[in-house]
Homo-oligomer: A and B are copies of this chain.
């Protein structure tokens, strides 16, 4: 039995890192089949307002799972980020990012001997991401921040289930309910309501500014944190910084019908086509996807090879010891495969 998924190669370095990752999947005999879909910057340019063809949309909705490279949204008034649109159109309400120190990827925290291992679950649709704003006068801009109880409930329930699945013992809710008493208040109330269904997971809450202070000083006290959209966006990137940047952070957008696994780093047009891009984030997202699909043995095998490769000091030019010879995308993938 094999699973068919939709694949969007992405813009810039997207096609190169996608090729490397799929080559690793093949070597590991991952039972996946791919349908490639047309999505990304050139489809905006070709007049598709959402950055994808109708056929791409149909394929993704039929298969229910999209594996995607980084994409660029053309700048311009009224053009919405393709990533944000994709999350909204398909109601992928939970964004999960796993952050873990990798041997061979030096960071301030690895130098200080502090291991990072935590998961951020971010609400992926509501909050100020609705883009509901207007100019009251030329000098006064008003934006609306909307939080709903069902929207909060679905991401919070996902976070608790994820925590349980991963064997975590606790989940914290980050919020600013001391200031945004009704909106974040509703999120927080819902958190404790749903916590009752998960007596095996210790639940607590923390004000988001205090959370950020603790994340940069004692990140080891957290296992998983669930937050509203914008605060979750900020905290996710903060955590990416703890482990070496977006190049080392996988991302999953989970919905009831469609889920998207993606690299959230940029498209790096400056190094496009040079074959030197770092496929680690996309590979980590792929590993997350394999686990999600239940291919846990293949996921573990690839993950171990990746960790061992990084530990050996094999790295693309964007990180690692500059004095050791750095590998290009292909050589990095070869090393993962060999391991």
Contact = CB atoms under 8 A, between A and B. Distances in A.
Contacts of A176: 128, 230, 233
Interface of A: 81, 84, 107-109, 111-112, 114, 128-129, 131, 133-135, 138-150, 176, 178-183, 185-186, 208-210, 212-217, 230-231, 233-238, 240-242, 244-246
A80 B148 CA distance: 24
Given A108-B112, A183-B142, A237 B217 contact: no
Nearest to A189: B141
Contacts of A245: 213, 217
A319 to B, nearest CB: 11
Interface centre among A84, A148, A182, A214 (most CB of B within 10 A): A182
Contacts of A237: 209-210, 212-213
Contacts of A142: 144-146, 182-183
A182 B241 contact: no
Contacts of A181: 131, 133
Contact of A212 (B107, B178, B214, B234): B234
A219 to B, nearest CB: 9
Contacts of A140: 146-149
Which 5 residue pairs of A and B lie closest in terms of their CB atoms, listed nearest first? Answer: A209-B237, A213-B241, A216-B241, A139-B149, A133-B182
Contacts of A144: 142-145
Nearest to A208: B234
A138 B190 CA distance: 12
B141 A186 contact: yes
A147 B182 CA distance: 20
A216 B141 contact: no
Given A209-B237, A233-B209, A238-B238, A141 B134 contact: no
Contacts of A138: 149
A143 B210 contact: no
A238 B211 CA distance: 8
Nearest to A186: B141
Contact of A234 (B141, B146, B185, B209): B209
Interface centre among A147, A216, A238, A246 (most CB of B within 10 A): A216
A213 B180 CA distance: 25
A80 to B, nearest CB: 10
A246 B146 contact: no
B183 A133 contact: yes
Contacts of A236: 209
Contact of A134 (B108, B131, B182): B182
Contacts of A242: 216-217
Contacts of A212: 212, 234-235, 237-238, 241
A235 B141 CA distance: 23
Contact of A148 (B81, B139, B147, B208): B139
Nearest to A148: B140
